[in-house]
């Protein structure tokens, strides 16, 4: 991407004062993630809060300006690089609050997963998702990529342990889906979105083949794409939107904050070797295990 025009830079500076840089060092530093892709952004933007992100999204909608959000940058597929405008949501989104003696945690997208677990350790709790990159990946990417790991299965993954989100929608609306009146607020602020989610819910539920396929797909580990099982698991559009954001790769909303239900850390662990006479016998033992 060529350097920003003076008018474009002025427009961005009005939305995110002091948060826009086109320095070569900043652009080069953000030109790659953990993938093999190399794209030089035209500018790096660092908003300070959800309000600025919402204003930035509204600006992008008005001007047709594409935005790519980046947090930990551990992606292996190039989701965190762009040759347009890169929004750094790691540096200033690092708040973390442990709630209910560790049974819940509220965390912003720039916090590294291992840091969350370190704060939860004294309570004997941890987050359910356990991707291999936990020492470097951040909560924002875990939600956007529906990261899981080897041990969380389909019960303790991001989708199942997520309680609520604070979202900045493309229009600029900020919504706390954990608020008691979240659905009413969504209907008032985004009536088309609210109605569209209800139509999709009813369309999915009204098609027996869709229901069957979704049930089968999500009965096993599945981290690909939107969490469309939400249409079977939840009724209200605010709850549907919360779960659809999981795995959405940043295409539906920006996650300004997430509240998770944590899982216990077992005080003892052991490894065993079980020998079966046949593959069939081994598979038959899996449900009990």
Verify that 138 and 174 share a domain, yes or no.
yes
Mean pLDDT on 118-147: 93
Whether the CA torsion 135, 223, 248, 51 is positive or negative: it is: negative
Last residue of a domain, one of 45, 61, 88: 88
Instruction: Check pLDDT > 90 for residue 52.
Output: yes
pLDDT at position 44 over 80: yes
3-class secondary-structure state, position 137: coil
| Torsion sign, CA atoms 216, 221, 223, 226 | positive
Asked if residue 83 and residue 119 are part of one domain, the reply reads: no
pLDDT digit string (tens) for 234-243? 999 999 999 9
Q: What are the tokens at 85? A: 């405008």
The percentage of residues in the chain with a pLDDT greater than 70, rounded to a whole number, is 99
Any idea which of 15-29, 70-84, 116-130, 171-185 has the lowest mean pLDDT?
Answer: 70-84
What is the CATH number for 230? 3.30.465.10
258 plus 119 within the same structural domain: yes
Contact 2, 42 (CB under 8 A): yes
**77 and 127, same structural domain?**
no
pLDDT score for 86: 95
pLDDT (average), residues 130-145: 91
Could you give the CA distance from residue 265 to residue 281 in angstroms, rounded to a whole number? 30
Tell me how far apart the alpha carbons of residues 265 and 121 are, in angstroms, rounded to a whole number: 8
How many helices, marked H, and strands, marked E, lie in the chain? 12, 11
pLDDT digits (tens, 9 = 90+) for 266-283: 889 888 899 999 999 999
Distance of CA 19 to the CA centre of its chain: 23
Over 60: is that where the pLDDT of 1 sits?
no
Q: Are residues 113 and 64 in the same domain?
A: no
Chain CA centroid to CA 31, Å: 21
**Statement: residue 90 has pLDDT above 60:** yes
List own/partner pairs for 215-221 with CB under 8 A and 24 or more apart.
218/154, 219/154, 220/154, 221/148, 221/153, 221/154, 221/157
Q: Are 116 and 232 contained in the same domain?
A: yes
User: What is the average pLDDT value for the chain, to the nearest integer?
Assistant: 93
Residue 80 is part of a domain; what is its CATH number? Answer: 3.30.43.10
Question: pLDDT value at position 104?
Answer: 98
Under the banding of pLDDT at 50, 70 and 90, the label for residue 147 is: confident
Report how many domains make up the chain: 2
Give me the mean pLDDT over the 169-178 stretch: 96
Together in a domain, 146 and 202: yes
Provide the pLDDT for residue 2: 59
Looking at residue 220, the DSSP 8-state letter turns out to be S
pLDDT score for 96: 98
Q: Is residue 128 part of a domain?
A: yes
- Nearest alpha-carbon partner for 30 in 58, 60, 71: 71
Residue 107 φ/ψ, nearest 5 degrees: -145, 145
pLDDT band at 148 (very low <50, low <70, confident <90, very high): confident
Give the helix ranges, DSSP H, for 121-268: 139-145, 158-161, 182-189, 191-205, 208-218, 230-233, 237-244
| Residues 131, 83 within the same domain | no
In a domain, 260, yes or no: yes
pLDDT category at 75 given cuts 50, 70, 90 is: confident
Q: For residue 44, which of 31, 54, 57, 35 has the smallest C-alpha distance?
A: 31
Domain encompassing residue 165 = 96-264
Inter-CA distances, 267 with 154, 160, 191, Å: 22, 23, 48
Rounded Cα distance between 5 and 45, Å, is 15
pLDDT at 71 over 90: no
Do the beta carbons of residue 22 and residue 42 sit within 8 Å? yes
Indicate the residue among 88, 110, 126 that finishes a domain. Answer: 88
Q: How far apart are CA 116 and CA 136, in angstroms?
A: 12
Whole-number Å distance between alpha carbons of 49 and 94: 11
Q: What is the average pLDDT across 203-225?
A: 93
Give the residue carrying structure tokens 């509204």. Answer: 58
**Domain identity same for 14 and 125:** no
Asked whether residue 254 falls in the same domain as residue 159, the answer is yes
Task: Among 70, 88, 106, identify where a domain stops.
Answer: 88
Q: 193 and 145, same structural domain?
A: yes
pLDDT tens digits for range 94-105: 999 999 999 999
């Amino acid at each position: 991407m060529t350097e920003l025009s003076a008018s474009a830079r002025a427009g961005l500076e009005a939305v995110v004062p002091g948060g826009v840089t086109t320095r070569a060092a900043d652009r080069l530093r953000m030109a790659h993630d953990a993938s093999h892709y190399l794209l030089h952004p035209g500018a790096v933007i660092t908003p300070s809060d959800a309000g600025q992100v919402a204003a930035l999204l509204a600006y992008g909608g008005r001007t047709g300006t594409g935005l790519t959000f980046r947090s930990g940058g551990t992606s292996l597929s190039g989701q965190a690089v762009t040759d347009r405008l890169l929004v750094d949501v790691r540096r200033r989104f690092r708040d973390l609050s442990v709630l209910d003696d560790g049974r819940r945690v509220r965390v912003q997208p720039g916090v590294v997963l291992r840091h969350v677990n370190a704060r939860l350790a004294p309570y004997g709790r941890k987050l359910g998702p356990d991707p291999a990159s936990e020492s470097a990946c951040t909560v924002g990417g875990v939600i956007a990529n529906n990261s899981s790991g080897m041990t969380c299965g389909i019960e303790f993954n991001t989708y199942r342990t997520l309680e609520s989100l604070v979202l900045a929608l493309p229009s600029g609306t900020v919504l706390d889906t954990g608020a008691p009146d979240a659905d009413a607020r969504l209907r008032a602020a985004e009536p088309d979105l609210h109605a569209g989610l209800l139509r999709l819910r009813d369309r999915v539920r009204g098609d027996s083949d869709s229901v069957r396929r979704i049930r089968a797909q999500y009965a096993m580990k599945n981290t690909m794409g939107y969490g469309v099982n939400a249409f079977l698991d939840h009724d209200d559009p605010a709850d549907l939107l919360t779960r659809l954001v999981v795995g959405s790769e940043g295409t539906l909303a920006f996650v300004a904050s997430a509240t998770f239900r944590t899982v216990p850390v077992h005080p003892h662990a052991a490894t065993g070797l079980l020998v079966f006479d046949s593959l069939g016998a081994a598979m038959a033992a899996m449900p009990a295990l």
